[in-house]
Amino acid sequence: MFNQPVDSNRELLVRYSSGERVFKGASLSGVNLQGAWLERVSLIEANLVKADLRGANLREAHLERADLRNANLEGAHLEGSHLEGANLEGANLEGANFDGAIRPNGRVRWR
């Protein structure tokens, strides 16, 4: 099952709970992952356009080059996450914690 494409929130959560952490290029546009526990997940180059990530735990997540346009990250935990090259255009970042995260421009400590 590892290294197979993932295209739904249910599939992602089931595979994550089974120990899988790498979901490069996942197609998760518009999915509801509100409050999901995805610490240290790798969603490099994932499509998360309009995804609901409110309150999600994405600590130390790898989101390099992920498309997060218009995603809802309100109150999400992104401490220590990697967002180099990520597209956050139109995303709701209200109350999200980016302490120690690497921003899309490569700089550390986003507040």
The percentage of residues in the chain with a pLDDT greater than 90, rounded to a whole number, is 85
CB proximity list for 86: less than 8 A, separation 6 or greater: 63, 64, 65, 66, 67, 68, 104
Distances (CA, A) of 18 to 21, 64, 65, 84, 109: 9, 23, 25, 27, 31
Which sequence spans correspond to the domains of the chain? 1-111
Task: Quote the pTM value.
Answer: 0.91
Average pLDDT, the chain: 93
Alpha-carbon Rg for the chain, nearest whole angstrom, is 12
The domain defined by 1-111 folds into Pectate Lyase C-like (2.160.20)
Of 1 and 103, more confident: 103
Closest Cα to residue 71, out of 82, 79, 63? 63
Q: What does the pLDDT read at residue 34?
A: 98
